[in-house]
Structure 1
Amino acid sequence: MDRTLFSGFKIPAASLQVFTGLAIVTCVPIYDRVFVPMARSITHKPSGITTLQRIGTGIFISILCMITAALVEIKRLETAREYGLVDSPDATIPMSIWWLVPQYLIFGIAEVFTMVGLQEFFYDQVPDELRSMGLALYLSVFGVGSILSSILVSIIEKVTSSNGGGGWFSNNLNKAHLDYFYWLLGGLSAIGLAAFSYFSRSYIYRRRTA
């Protein structure tokens, strides 16, 4: 893709993560100053919404992120076919890198709800004498998630390339199907959200401030 952001400036691909950070920095004060007061006026709860509702909202937004990523990848593959670049993995596809920005911004918004919500939940809902354990549990979420994602990628790579094809993660991205992977992640997230919503309804908070 064309990594030119402005005239004469090309952004390194890895630097796109900065848009996630910008979304987080921007949305945190908006959440505290705008969203919470509005939600408080409706729910009459000090925090506006509960921590579990905040986490669930983040999961839902992450589904939107995966849908956006899948649609952008479909557009990229169509552009590659249109310009005859399918067999030229090193060629620059005439499609601006700006197309990728929305999914990073949406992901940042999801982080504001999910990760911050998890941190609040593990801090507020564990006994005072086990606060350090709550932090450890919060951090363990990232480790478990990394392990599961690695296993998922390995399984998909093995299954989709078993027939001699390049699979979803082909070295030639113009022949790969990252869009399928994004749809799969979106579907798994939707299943996770349904399960989370079901079990969270029966949770009893330790403190009334939750």
Structure 2
Amino acid sequence: MAVMLQMHQMLQFGEGVTMITLSSLTPSLKVPSCEEGSCHSANGGQTLAFFSGLYLVAFGSGGVKAALLPFGADQFSDDNIEERQRKSSFFSLFYVCLNIGGLFSSTVIVWIQENLSWALGFGITAVCIAIALVGFLLGTPAYHLRAPSGTSSLKSVLQVVIAAFSKIRLEAPLDSRLLYEVDDTTAQNFGRQRLAHSEEFRFLDKAAIVTDFDRKGTNLCNSWRLCTITRVEEAKILVRLLPIWIAGVIFSAAYCQMATTFIQQGSAMNTKIKSFSVPPASLSSFEVVSVMAWVLAYNKIIAPAARRIYNNEMGFSQLQRIGIGQFMMTLAMATAAFTESRRLHSAEAGAELTIAWQLPQYFIVAGSEAFCFIAQHEFFYSQAPETMKSMCTAISLLAISLGSYLSSLILTLVVRFTANGGSPGWIPDDLNKGHLDYYFLLLTSICTLNLTAYVFTSRNYRPKQVVRHTL
């Protein structure tokens, strides 16, 4: 089932890229080009082909990332230290591979499309997807597969909530042994780990209260009225992950500055470094290379040193790594504010600050990304119940997407409230008349508050407790 799901997502991704390739190659599907300032609108078929390809790429990409990461991590066993360390390294390598793909597409593919042919650029990506699909299928005999539980994650959580509300007038017993749970054999048949009862969010415990009505007939099998402690704890895990997830959304909003205000800042600087002209947008490639350097440094230097210091097998915990990433993002925003302040002072003196001043903030952002994003994916995977690995991974990835929307909202509000009464505001078209440094200081403050809330949340986070492995 897992292999078929991955194959379906890759096929969907490949179909999208192929559709876009055809729309740029086939004359009847190709969108008309602009000539001498005159542009012709695309017809219905051309619009349908182009946007169908884009949506298929979006759905396929989201599905592959959400399912492939937990599927790859499942190939490692938790029974020994070496395998657990390899699993941790897998998350880093997976993220590095994503960055390598992004670097290749934003440099080589873009150059081919701009200088040779759009169809050739899209065609190369389609071939890459085909190669990836073939490679994935060739490894099928060696994969370690987990049997599906038969119940969707969202349905299971919804059953707990409805069952708890149906018994809202009842009082949850203080002794958790009085709550409903199945034996190990039954749990194994449903592909679940039995989870230990926790004292948090006791309202949800009402879903596991066994009443006289539940004992009648086949009512014990009605999961919409009675849920096991394990199912209740699975719902509690999602609630406990929510503050960590919100912190990730705010972190991602700050991270998005690299593709927006950082580029705008660089455009107002001297783009020459010695004899080389550096386009502001190309510094994102430097950030990608820096991420790889940070990951290599962490795996080879930082993690081994942390293991010796903390005298444990993993060194820094996942929550500690997320916190380090949050701190580094705060430092990156403060660095960007300092650079912008220097740029404004140079502009007032009639000089241009070199774009090389932006390199430190990109490098620090890369470090925050290497610590926070990788650890966040790993943390959500490790804390997710066995039946919710893909869903929790998707939730972790969703935080990055929602961060983009939050960044847009913050930027819109700043422009609206600072550009009143004829004032150019903080972020006008001519940055020399604005105060982009104030905007970066605002983000620094937001990141500081986010880090403070995260530290409080992570210190009080209760990890899941497995009663017995049944898989």
Alignment-mate amino acid for residue 319 of structure 2: L
Deviation at 1:66, TM superposition (A): 0.8
The Cα of 1:20 is off from its aligned counterpart by 1.0
Displacement after TM superposition at 1:205 (Å): 2.2
Q: Where do 5+ consecutive residues of structure 1 fail to align?
A: 84-92
Higher relative contact order (CA 8 A, sep 6+): 1
Equivalent residue, structure 2, for 1:89: none
Cα shift at 1:37: 1.2
For residues 43-192 of structure 1, the aligned pairs below 5 Å read: 43-83=310-350, 93-192=351-450
Q: Which AA in structure 1 matches 2:405?
A: I
Quickly say closer, same or farther: Cα 1:207–1:24, change in 2 above 3 A: farther
| CA shift digits 1:129-179 (9 cap, x unpaired) | 211101111111012211211111111111101122111111111011110
- Aligned partner of 1:5 in structure 2 is 273
- CA shift for structure 1 position 207: 6.8
2-side partners of 1:114 and 1:80: how far apart?
35
The C-alpha deviation readout for 1:69-90, integer Å capped at 9, x for no partner, is 011100100011001xxxxxxx
**Separation of aligned partners in 2, 1:81 and 1:144:** 37
Q: Distance in 2 between matches of 1:46 and 1:184?
A: 39
| Inter-partner Cα distance in structure 1 for 2:280 and 2:304 | 38
User: Counterpart of 1:88?
Assistant: none
Identify the residue that residue 34 of structure 1 maps to in structure 2: 301
**What are the Cα deviations for residues 91-138 of structure 1, in whole angstroms up to 9, with x where unaligned?**
xx5321111111001100110111111111111110122111011111
Displacement of 1:6: 4.1
Q: What do residues 38-75 of structure 1 show as CA deviations (whole Å, max 9, x unaligned)?
A: 11112122211111110010010111101110111001
Tell me whether 142-151 or 198-207 shows the greater mean CA deviation.
198-207
SS at match of 1:15: helix
Q: Distance in 2 between matches of 1:28 and 1:47?
A: 15
Specify the code of the residue in structure 1 equivalent to 2:280: A
Q: What SS does structure 2 have at the residue aligned with 1:174? A: helix
Structure 2: distance between partners of 1:206 and 1:29 = 30
Q: Runs (4+) of structure 1 moved beyond 3 Å?
A: none
CA contact (8 A) 2:321 2:375 kept: yes
Q: What is the distance in 2 between the residues matched to 1:101 and 1:72?
A: 10
Decide which structure has the larger Cα Rg and report it.
2
- CA distance in structure 1 between the partners assigned to 2:371 and 2:347 by the alignment: 35
Match in the other structure for 2:455: 197
**Per-residue CA distance 1:170-198 (angstroms, 9 max, x = gap):** 11110111100111101110100000000
Q: TM-score, normalised by structure 2?
A: 0.41
SS at match of 1:205: coil
Question: Take 1:123 and 1:37, find their aligned partners in 2: how far apart are those partners?
Answer: 23
* Cα distance in 1 between the residues matched to 2:302 and 2:416: 44
Q: How many residues align?
A: 198
3-state SS of 1:53 partner = helix
The alignment-based identity, stated in percent, is 36
Give me the whole-angstrom Cα distance separating, in 1, the residues matched to 2:352 and 2:435: 19
Unaligned runs of 5+ in 2: 1-268, 467-471
Provide the rounded CA distance (Å) in 2 between the counterparts of 1:148 and 1:135.
20
Q: Which amino acid aligns with 2:386?
A: D
Alignment-mate amino acid for residue 454 of structure 2: F
Q: Which moved more, 1:173-182 or 1:144-153?
A: 144-153
The 8 Å contact of residues 123 and 134 in structure 1, kept in 2 or not, is answered as: yes
CA RMSD of aligned residues (A): 1.4
